[in-house]
Amino acid sequence: MTHTIAQDRFPAAGQASVAAIPKPYWNPYAVGFLLGLVLLATYVVTGRGLGATGGYSAVAAQFAGLFSPEHAAANAVHAKYWNDGAPLASWTLFLLAGAFIGALASGLQGQRVCWSIEKGPQASAERRLALAFAGGFIAAYGAKIAKGCTSGQALTGGSILNVGSLVFMVAVFAAAYGLAWFVRKEWL
Amino acid sequence: MTTMLPLASSIEFSTVVNLALALALGLGFGFCLERAGFGSARKLTAVFYLYDMAVVKVMFTAIVTAMIGLFALSATGFLDLGELYLEPTNLAAQALGGVVFGAGFIVGGYCPGTSIAAIATGRKDAMVFALGMLVGVYAYAELTPGIEGWIKATAQGAMTLPSVTGVPMGWFVLAFVAFLAFAAWGMNRLETRFASLRPAS
């Protein structure tokens, strides 16, 4: 490790009010092992793996239902999350709620919680936020087409050697490495 | 020894228990993501500039750990792999969706799960990313619901490497462990080689 902890933790210097020195992240292999155990436990208990995008889809179905419950129940995509009018009682959404609390607890313990905008030193905050919105929109579309994201396809499907999941993982990294040069000013 | 795992195959969880389980497992999920540094978009995207390979290290180790666990539990008769849900493979959809998703990842800086860890630790850009995602899944449902039918109609069905190749799962587990060891060595070299790309501030 040649870099300092502070660089790693608060890249957007000047926007973050640093109250305490953040503790370093854990060794990636150690966290990976722990994350693998969480994934294994999820499989062993529920018979399914982790997921994340489904939680967003459940919220979208809830919004659609506010305007028209009939439409939400009939739409080919919303219908899968409609859950007889209770889309928010979604397994994946509760998983995300738990993840929020778990991440907050970890962040507080490590003194890493603070208001900030993650970006490279060359990018403006406005540009970064616009790209964050665009990226979120694009990632959502990709996850819907691929029937899963980094959690539902890559981690969950990868660990059981699902062919489609492995293809997804290769495609994700290929596209991101291919585009990295074009958006380098957002990050470097 | 009778197989009894996954638990859900022999026990019918009530909705409340099911959601409580989701919340509990989510705690561990979010804790790991934040501990790994995945609440930071710069830490996540660093993998694409090769100066910090933590994303691959964590993901790969998690996948291999779970894979070894599933294999060991099934080989000893505690777990029935056939009872686990397998997302049907659709090579075209997963390749296309993966490319689109990868683009969203490098542009937006997060993926769906890590955006939650980032929001929890105060990243405003993650909140905007999450809003973009919400609009994205809504737009997908409203504007292009036809894609859903195409995916279903063209899917190849449940496919795993062992089922497709006929090679037993244990060999793949061994291969993945070996590859992880090799990749760990290679990633260390990459991080040294591209250390100068790490932003100064």
pLDDT digits (tens, 9 = 90+) for A125-172: 999 999 999 999 999 999 999 999 999 999 999 999 999 999 999 999
Within a domain: B160? yes
Cβ of B116 within 8 Å of Cβ of A172? The answer is no
If one counts the domains in chain B, the total is 1
Q: Calculate mean pLDDT across residues B92-111.
A: 98
The per-residue DSSP string of B141-164 comes to HHH-THHHHHHHHH--BS-BHHHH
Minimal Cα–Cα distance from B150 to chain A, Å? 10
Q: How confident is the model at residue B1 (pLDDT cuts 50, 70, 90)?
A: low
The two three-digit tokens of residue B106, written as one number: 């490098």
Residues of B in contact with A149 (CB under 8 A): 101, 111-113
Across all residues in chain B, what is the average pLDDT?
96
Q: How confident is the model at residue B200 (pLDDT cuts 50, 70, 90)?
A: confident
Residues of A in contact with B21 (CB under 8 A): 45-46
Spatial separation of the C-alpha atoms in residues A176 and A154, rounded to whole Å: 15
Within a domain: B129? yes
Residues of A in contact with B63 (CB under 8 A): 36, 154-155, 158-159
Q: Please provide residue B89's backbone torsions phi and psi, each rounded to the nearest 5 degrees.
A: -80, 135
Report which of residues B112 and B3 the model is more confident about: B112
Spatial separation of the C-alpha atoms in residues A165 and B159, rounded to whole Å: 10
Lowest-pLDDT choice from A136-145, B8-17, B56-65: B8-17
ipTM of the complex: 0.97
Specify the pLDDT at position B201: 64
Q: Which of B24, B114, B147 has its CB closest to that of A145?
A: B147
Cβ of A137 within 8 Å of Cβ of B104? The answer is yes
Provide the whole-model pTM.
0.93
Q: Which residues are CB-neighbours of B173 under 8 A, at least 6 positions away?
A: B64, B67, B68, B71
Q: Which residue of A has its CA nearest to B167?
A: A161
pLDDT digits (tens, 9 = 90+) for A57-77: 999 999 999 999 999 999 999
Q: Look at residues A181, A92, A172 and name the one whose alpha carbon lies nearest to residue B99.
A: A172
Cβ of A142 within 8 Å of Cβ of B100? The answer is yes
Specify the pLDDT at position B4: 87
Q: Which of B26, B35, B137 has its CB closest to that of A144?
A: B137
Q: Which residue of B has its CA nearest to A40?
A: B66
Question: Residue B6, preceding bond cis, omega within 30 degrees?
Answer: yes
Q: Which of B21, B30, B132 has its CB closest to that of A132?
A: B132
Residues of B in contact with A76 (CB under 8 A): 141, 145-146, 148-149
Specify the pLDDT at position A20: 77
Minimal Cα–Cα distance from A61 to chain B, Å? 8
Within a domain: B190? yes
Residues of A in contact with B97 (CB under 8 A): 142-147, 168, 171
Residues of A in contact with B129 (CB under 8 A): 132-133, 135-136, 139
Whether residue B5 has pLDDT greater than 80: yes
Alpha helices (H) along A47-155: 53-67, 69-74, 79-82, 91-109, 125-146
Q: Which residues span the domain enclosing B189?
A: 39-197
Residue B103's SS3 state is helix
Within a domain: B44? yes
Q: Which of B21, B103, B169 has its CB closest to that of A138?
A: B103
Q: Look at residues A5, A34, A21 and name the one whose alpha carbon lies nearest to residue A114.
A: A21
Total CB pairs under 8 A between chain A and B: 539
Q: How confident is the model at residue A2 (pLDDT cuts 50, 70, 90)?
A: very low
Q: Which of B113, B145, B159 has its CB closest to that of A77?
A: B145
Across all residues in chain A, what is the average pLDDT?
92
Spatial separation of the C-alpha atoms in residues A38 and B178, rounded to whole Å: 22
Within a domain: B157? yes
Spatial separation of the C-alpha atoms in residues B84 and A44, rounded to whole Å: 9
Q: Which residue of A has its CA nearest to B43?
A: A8
Spatial separation of the C-alpha atoms in residues A136 and A173, rounded to whole Å: 17
